[in-house]
A and B are shown apart, each in its own frame.
Chain A
């Protein structure tokens, strides 16, 4: 019987290490996907086709607020990890709830910005520059939304069954995903907003 347990424990450990490694690899491929979009943005960012450019369209304080919200959400996400170390189920759920709300706030701000742009006649159909802008920032937003959906999917079982080795493994992947999106946003903030508006 102990041998059965040994095999199972060993298997669990191996699965954890494989999954984390595989997820890192996935994040790196996602990084290349974003790199492609960044490259395209940099090629097209001057092609405004007579329309407005970054200077006229973007507000730095707004983008900075978005950045701070997202960075804070990364921080609260890490606090959930500390809670997970102490096996504190309620705190894990609480910190993920805060992260979730901050994520929703971020998405709401982004959608608000998009809506204003479209309303003023500066939609993605206006110029090559706006096409690249909406796609790059929108792809990041889509990732964030996926992350939010994923949080719901993962947190519900934790709420019901508590912290199991499997749920801890999945939450670790989710946190990696969330931090990765934070890093991508830093580049968006720098290249799209700062370099565009300054």
Chain B
């Protein structure tokens, strides 16, 4: 009746229980507050059933933020373990639990933090910057969000029911195969990543169609803002890479559920095939995360240097080159596989080549600042921090692209330090810059600058303390995923420094939470009444803050790259001609599809097949209902639009 699910699934040790219970208590508190303030109807109408990308962006942000906290707690727990677990002492975590921690940390940070903030940014910014009222497929957009949230939810529920995977975040077979991992852990990984991955693919398709088909009149490809170009590169990567992930996880699933032999070492399977395929997705994925960051910095640097971006065309070529090259470097993740010197040399050289377009971008940003009137606001601070950290990460990346060096540092903490430098420097700092930059557009008021600066310095110092020791430790031979080491290695002081670094990063997060709270409290002083708080250059600043449901009362016509900048300085005032606007109505079907998908994933993990079949049918019925709905859109008359101006 309940498949593999029995009372044992709920038995955990003290530390795991603590995590599970605190999440449950948090949930109860939220539900209580919702009842207390009678906000259910409001949240249902304004957010849960909304098809407005600006609202969906907020929901992405909430899930990504909660995931970020969870991922950071995982990281902190690992570092504390490494701080104490030396020589005679074995720390406070069981090895099994430690394995789950590093797996959950990686999975959460990439799929639910990284992808979450990428899609949050797309939802907020893309329609506004291209002068569109909506995305191409608003309903699909909401469904994608719920699939993403379901993935995150499955990772969280593994804290309470059963265990999470302990195989590392890319789940290599044969370790992740049925023979070595018969439990539910790997299945949790499979279904959370698979469901969220399908959501990402659908989102990618949606925004690709949006950018290609819905730009306002006059916005030719070479007049698009660089952020849109960066997102277009990201979307192309998503469209090419995510189907590979879907197929690969699908094959692993068949190995585990139907006893197939894709990746088993026996019966003619080939485990290396999985590793090739997962990185054929995994390497582009890295660029999927970082290209939007590049786009954000291009906007931020131009705005706060009060200058046109330097080298627009070369930026686009650089983006294109990165997009293309990212598909022919995947083998550098496993030079040690033994593919032979020539193969390794090819992939090594291709990897080094990526440094060229990336360098072009860095110099373009620096030249944009050159002779500009630079305003050192928080987004600019994040940019400067990015330049330092990302460049260190990039250079160590080039080091590791040489196969002989990689043989020495493969799977060591040196690698960990490298990819955290590029991901935290590029993706996380990029997102924080974007958050400070576009927050007034979303909320209607600016964030507190002083607390933002405190947060920046905490992150910066915390990052250096947390990751520079790892470079040294890696060169000294410390491997990744290490939960115990010998006292004679002399590594302990460096691990202590790394743990202190994480604590300082937590302080930074604390300042950011405080920043949002204080800014909401003092919002009256920081109201953005003009819609253009930073003297911006692109179309999103042409709308009021926050923008109306339909973004633009009149769809703009673009003549130049920095479209809004030109409009501001042209001083031409036509009497605007308002037209009726057709917008999608809210729909309750996406949250239902999400609910059924959650049930489907959960039941497949626990082998409750009858309920899984039921939820699958539920999803299909939801889609049929949607197809048979007639009035899915509503019309806002020209008069109403005019009244709101």
The one of A28, A32, A124, A149 that contacts B260, using a Cβ cutoff of 8 Å: A124
Interface of A, helix, strand, loop or mixed by DSSP: helix
Instruction: Report yes or no: A44 in contact with B246, Cβ–Cβ below 8 A.
Output: no
* A105 → chain B closest CB, angstroms: 24
- In the complex, chain A residues whose CB is within 8 Å of the CB of B205: 22, 25-26, 29
Known pairs A25-B205, A25-B208, A47-B268; A40 contacts B580 (CB<8 A):
no
B570 interfacial by beta-carbon distance below 8 Å: no
Known pairs A26-B205, A29-B239; A7 contacts B579 (CB<8 A):
yes
Instruction: Report yes or no: A33 in contact with B580, Cβ–Cβ below 8 A.
Output: no
A18, A47, A129, most chain B CB atoms within 10 A: A18
Instruction: Report yes or no: A36 in contact with B244, Cβ–Cβ below 8 A.
Output: yes
* B466 → chain A closest CB, angstroms: 37
Instruction: Report yes or no: B270 in contact with A8, Cβ–Cβ below 8 A.
Output: no
Interface of B, helix, strand, loop or mixed by DSSP: helix
The one of B243, B262, B268, B633 that contacts A30, using a Cβ cutoff of 8 Å: B243
Tell me the chain B residues, 233-277 only, with Cβ under 8 Å from chain A: 239-240, 242-244, 246-248, 251, 254, 258-262, 267-270, 273, 277
Known pairs A11-B582, A22-B205, A29-B201; A131 contacts B247 (CB<8 A):
no
Instruction: Report yes or no: B136 in contact with A44, Cβ–Cβ below 8 A.
Output: no
- In the complex, chain B residues whose CB is within 8 Å of the CB of A127: 261, 267-268
* A8 → chain B closest CB, angstroms: 7
With A and B bound together, what is the CA distance between A26 and B136 in angstroms? 13
- In the complex, chain B residues whose CB is within 8 Å of the CB of A3: 579-580, 638
With A and B bound together, what is the CA distance between A17 and B581 in angstroms? 18
The one of A8, A30, A135, A157 that contacts B251, using a Cβ cutoff of 8 Å: A135
B201, B205, B240, B628, most chain A CB atoms within 10 A: B205
B375 interfacial by beta-carbon distance below 8 Å: no
Instruction: Report yes or no: B269 in contact with A29, Cβ–Cβ below 8 A.
Output: no
The one of B209, B251, B579, B582 that contacts A18, using a Cβ cutoff of 8 Å: B209
- In the complex, chain B residues whose CB is within 8 Å of the CB of A25: 205, 208-209, 239
Instruction: Report yes or no: A128 in contact with B267, Cβ–Cβ below 8 A.
Output: yes
With A and B bound together, what is the CA distance between A36 and B270 in angstroms? 14
With A and B bound together, what is the CA distance between A22 and B205 in angstroms? 7
The one of B136, B247, B259 that contacts A36, using a Cβ cutoff of 8 Å: B247
B339 interfacial by beta-carbon distance below 8 Å: no
Instruction: Report yes or no: B206 in contact with A125, Cβ–Cβ below 8 A.
Output: no
Tell me the chain B residues, 578-594 only, with Cβ under 8 Å from chain A: 579-582
Instruction: Report yes or no: B582 in contact with A33, Cβ–Cβ below 8 A.
Output: no
- In the complex, chain A residues whose CB is within 8 Å of the CB of B208: 25
Instruction: Report yes or no: B247 in contact with A37, Cβ–Cβ below 8 A.
Output: yes
* B640 → chain A closest CB, angstroms: 13
Name the interface size band of chain B: 35 or more
B14 interfacial by beta-carbon distance below 8 Å: no
B627 interfacial by beta-carbon distance below 8 Å: yes
A21 interfacial by beta-carbon distance below 8 Å: yes
A107 interfacial by beta-carbon distance below 8 Å: no
Instruction: Report yes or no: A7 in contact with B582, Cβ–Cβ below 8 A.
Output: yes
Instruction: Report yes or no: A135 in contact with B254, Cβ–Cβ below 8 A.
Output: yes
Instruction: Report yes or no: A44 in contact with B254, Cβ–Cβ below 8 A.
Output: no
A4 interfacial by beta-carbon distance below 8 Å: yes
Instruction: Report yes or no: B239 in contact with A28, Cβ–Cβ below 8 A.
Output: yes
Nearest chain-B residue to A4 (Cβ)? Answer: B580
- In the complex, chain B residues whose CB is within 8 Å of the CB of A26: 205
With A and B bound together, what is the CA distance between A26 and B580 in angstroms? 31
B212 interfacial by beta-carbon distance below 8 Å: yes
Contact with B along A147-176 (1 / 0, CB 8 A): 001000110010000000000001000000
Instruction: Report yes or no: B624 in contact with A153, Cβ–Cβ below 8 A.
Output: yes
B214 interfacial by beta-carbon distance below 8 Å: yes
B213 interfacial by beta-carbon distance below 8 Å: yes
* A115 → chain B closest CB, angstroms: 16
A57 interfacial by beta-carbon distance below 8 Å: no
Instruction: Report yes or no: B248 in contact with A36, Cβ–Cβ below 8 A.
Output: yes
- In the complex, chain B residues whose CB is within 8 Å of the CB of A122: none
Instruction: Report yes or no: B214 in contact with A18, Cβ–Cβ below 8 A.
Output: yes
The one of A4, A21, A47, A153 that contacts B270, using a Cβ cutoff of 8 Å: A47
Tell me the chain B residues, 205-230 only, with Cβ under 8 Å from chain A: 205-206, 208-209, 212-214
- In the complex, chain A residues whose CB is within 8 Å of the CB of B277: 36, 39-40
B635 interfacial by beta-carbon distance below 8 Å: yes
Instruction: Report yes or no: B251 in contact with A33, Cβ–Cβ below 8 A.
Output: no
With A and B bound together, what is the CA distance between A88 and B205 in angstroms? 33
The one of A11, A33, A128 that contacts B262, using a Cβ cutoff of 8 Å: A128
B137 interfacial by beta-carbon distance below 8 Å: yes
A90 interfacial by beta-carbon distance below 8 Å: no
Tell me the chain A residues, 1-59 only, with Cβ under 8 Å from chain B: 3-4, 7-8, 11, 14, 17-19, 21-22, 25-26, 28-30, 32-33, 36-37, 39-40, 43-44, 47-49
The one of A17, A37, A149, A157 that contacts B628, using a Cβ cutoff of 8 Å: A157
Nearest chain-A residue to B623 (Cβ)? Answer: A153
Instruction: Report yes or no: A36 in contact with B243, Cβ–Cβ below 8 A.
Output: yes
Instruction: Report yes or no: A125 in contact with B136, Cβ–Cβ below 8 A.
Output: no
With A and B bound together, what is the CA distance between A11 and B136 in angstroms? 12
A132 interfacial by beta-carbon distance below 8 Å: yes
With A and B bound together, what is the CA distance between A14 and B248 in angstroms? 36
- In the complex, chain A residues whose CB is within 8 Å of the CB of B624: 153
Instruction: Report yes or no: B244 in contact with A32, Cβ–Cβ below 8 A.
Output: yes
With A and B bound together, what is the CA distance between A4 and B627 in angstroms? 24
Known: A3-B579, A36-B247, A132-B262. 5 other contacts (CB 8 A): A7-B580, A48-B268, A128-B269, A131-B269, A135-B260
Interface positions of B (Cβ within 8 A of A): 136-137, 201, 205-206, 208-209, 212-214, 239-240, 242-244, 246-248, 251, 254, 258-262, 267-270, 273, 277, 579-582, 620, 624, 627-628, 633, 635, 638
Q: What are 26 A-B contacts defined by CB distance under 8 Å?
A: A7-B580, A7-B635, A18-B214, A21-B136, A21-B213, A25-B239, A29-B201, A29-B242, A32-B240, A36-B243, A36-B277, A39-B277, A43-B273, A49-B261, A124-B259, A127-B261, A128-B262, A128-B267, A128-B270, A129-B268, A131-B254, A149-B620, A153-B624, A154-B627, A157-B627, A157-B628
